[in-house]
Amino acid sequence: GDSVTQMEGPVTLSEEAFLTINCTYTATGYPSLFWYVQYPGEGLQLLLKATKADDKGSNKGFEATYRKETTSFHLEKGSVQVSDSAVYFCALSDNQAGTALIFGKGTTLSVSS
């Protein structure tokens, strides 16, 4: 079945460092891909998405490119801030009727000043 694999955390960075969180997926069709963020004690929020190959999603300085050839959707940010500390989830929708979103296990990011 479809699945999402994320790099294990925690990821610990200093402020202004470059961030990459790896995400790869397995899907039989042409999925849509998402990154969600969860701040401490809260629910998840959509961070960005891409619906077809080579699309780049971006928001709040974060970017991710849908790479069909490598089945990847890695999250990047050029300069992280302390306020980016959160758990990041990669997710997949196989765009088939009757199926729900599939999430990765999440990657915890901790940014120190």
Binding site for another protein (CB under 8 A): 32, 34, 36, 41-46, 49, 89, 91, 93, 95-101, 103-106
Assign 104 to helix, strand or coil. Answer: coil
User: If we measure between CA atoms, which residue out of 33, 42, 39, 46 comes closest to residue 2?
Assistant: 33
CB nearer another protein, residue 100 or residue 113: 100
Report, in Å, the least distance between residue 70 CB and another protein. 21
Report, in Å, the least distance between residue 42 CB and another protein. 6
CB nearer another protein, residue 17 or residue 38: 38
Beta-bridge mates of residue 75: 21, 64
CB nearer another protein, residue 29 or residue 70: 29
Distance CA 30, CA 88 (A): 23
User: If we measure between CA atoms, which residue out of 110, 107, 111 comes closest to residue 6?
Assistant: 107
